[in-house]
Chain A
């Protein structure tokens, strides 16, 4: 019993540490700035980090499969600019939103195919994807395009009140990320697809020899990431009511960091979607502490996220070597 408990602890060690760090960080923030104790601040984490969470969910699955997707930020920017430009031309949101989702899926599918069939390393192919998407975004518009569509405005500005809590609200687009989170959790944990993703990440060769559909799964993982990035782009453009090619610069690292902090192993095969949620919440809390402070500059966020990632890579290698020894 004790041994089973110990192995459970080791298996979920990074997840527990992540959770503990989030609680500790939030607690410290609450002690420093009493205003942070209000429930609205917690829900603001979801409002402000919806698109990062979406992108990170896709990234987590890609990393579990042993790949990496550096194009997420670019695709997000491209989606925001393309949808803003289309809306400006008077196209109905009922057409624009599905079109953007299809574009994200196609983009992800193209990258997955290049990686799988042409044997290009994932980071090269997706780095090209990043620059290609940003380049396209700049071709569409060099400047920020504002969105004046009434439906988008309705989505952006209508608060949804949380039951049982007075004066606490979220917005409609905020719901997208948690829904995708549950969907991804279900996909990864309870479907054949999810198990195949883990198997490929552990060893692609043996997954292939076991007769698992490697080709289909590998490409679908990038398709899923493309879908997540497109959704993130839509959420982002709704929350800012604009589209711009420079949106989300460096979001790749934030997403990778969230996945790593959440316990996903960068070598693939190990990972947890819910860990990613806490990874996002941790970096979101850093941002809100900096905002509450008000005097620290924004680049501290980037640096602290970088340092946190580094620390977690260290913790991971510690736990991973433990697990190997215990086997």
Chain B
């Protein structure tokens, strides 16, 4: 087994495909859109398309982290987009300076002030998202509803909840310190990158330095067998969904801070598709089992590089949705048994 050739090791590594896709897109950019690589420094901050990929891709990378764990347990979370909307709405409502007894006027609404201290806003937003995740996990693990349906309920009802929180309005945020999460810079790099790194580190320590990661994988491979070997399969699932909700809440925080508003209908729209795409691209099987957090993050970056490339080329943004759907299909087919058998046969013939 030690004598596996380099080619086989590369082929077996789950980072290979997302990295190859990333390189492929970047090489394409090098020829057709050289401006993609331009990075300039302005006011001590780095600007450019590559930085945009990292900055815009941050929420998706966060959601993909949570989604990875959920998919690894053999489930799926379709409600991430709605959870993003809920946490964004939560943040906007708590900031809203007009909530007091004062007469609501435009001057009050657009004031650079907050109704609640920032730490409490953060806690409330993250708690709201985690609660949504907990609810999903409860439905899946305790009520035994299939993951698709359990999370579909929140996917649709969640946007209603978000609108209920904001009273059906699109809330604009004028509180400057809140913008820091989506628009701030530390050492020339966007803050969102550091947030992703922190959550990634948290997740990595959780799954690789404790036994939780192995529990998740074993539940995904065979829930019954893990139950009989003494793993609390229910609590593992509950944890995975709660973490996914938490990640979506952080993403909602960044997104609402980035666009300075909370819109129940449009915050985090179609994020469920993108997150599934990122995870699948990272080589985590939809049926559950082995997973890689880093590969999912790279998958998220591939999606945003693809998206920004498409924008740079001047393709209308609305065509992107269909293109992404096709991309997911291709990636899923690449990982399917049919494709594996085909490539396996191809390589064996070459080796023989």
Listed in ascending order, the chain A residues whose CB lies under 8 Å from chain B are: 68, 70, 114, 117-121, 123-125, 127-129, 131-132, 134-136, 138-139, 142, 245, 250, 252-253, 256, 260, 266-267, 297, 299-300, 302-303, 305-307, 309-310, 313-314, 317
Give Cα distance in the complex from A200 to B178, angstroms: 54
Write out the residue numbers on chain B whose beta carbons fall within 8 Å of the beta carbon of A250.
Answer: 156, 159
Q: A142-B318, A300-B160 are in contact. Are A310 and B153 (CB under 8 A)?
A: yes
Interface residues of B (CB under 8 A from A): 76, 78, 139, 143-146, 148-149, 152-157, 159-161, 163-164, 168, 270, 272-273, 276, 286-287, 316, 318-326, 328-329, 332-333, 336-338
Q: Which of A114, A135, A245 is in CB contact (< 8 Å) with B329?
A: A114
Q: Which residue of B lies closest to A246 (CB)?
A: B265
Q: Which residues of B contact A253 (CB under 8 A)?
A: 152-153, 155-156
Shortest distance between the CB of B27 and any CB in chain A (Å): 26
**Alpha-carbon distance between A123 and B323 when the two chains are bound, in angstroms:** 19
Task: List, in ascending order, chain B residues with CB within 8 A of A306's CB.
Answer: 153-154, 156-157, 160
Q: Which 6 A-B pairs have the closest CB atoms?
A: A135-B322, A135-B321, A306-B157, A138-B318, A299-B160, A132-B325
Q: How many A-B residue pairs have CB under 8 A?
A: 112
With contacts A127-B273, A131-B325 taken as known, whether A119 is within 8 angstroms of B286 at the C-beta atoms is no
Of A114, A135, A250, A310, chain B has the most CB atoms within 10 Å of the CB of A135
Nearest-CB residue, chain A, relative to B149:
A266
B162 nearest CB neighbor, chain A only: A299
B217 CB to closest chain A CB (Å) equals 19
A299:B143 contact, CB within 8 angstroms: no
Nearest-CB distance from A234 to chain B (Å)?
22
Which of A118, A260, A302, A313 meets B157, CB within 8 Å? A302
11 contacts between A and B (CB under 8 A): A124-B276, A127-B272, A128-B328, A135-B319, A252-B152, A253-B152, A266-B145, A297-B168, A303-B157, A306-B153, A306-B157
Shortest distance between the CB of A163 and any CB in chain B (Å): 39
Chain B residues with Cβ under 8 A from A245's Cβ?
Answer: 318
Chain A residue with minimal CB distance to B318?
A138
Q: Which residue of B lies closest to A306 (CB)?
A: B157
Contact present for A135 and B336 (CB under 8 Å): no
Residues of chain A within 8 A (CB-CB) of B273 are: 127-128, 131
By a CB distance below 8 angstroms, the chain B residues around A309 are 149, 153
Task: Beyond A135-B319, A297-B163, list 20 extra A-B contacts (CB 8 Å).
Answer: A70-B152, A118-B333, A118-B336, A119-B336, A123-B76, A127-B272, A127-B273, A128-B273, A128-B325, A131-B322, A135-B321, A135-B322, A135-B324, A135-B325, A138-B318, A253-B155, A299-B160, A303-B160, A306-B156, A307-B157
Is the CB–CB distance between B322 and A139 below 8 Å?
yes
Which residue from chain A places its CB closest to the CB of B332 in the assembled complex? A120
A135 touches B160 (CB 8 A): no
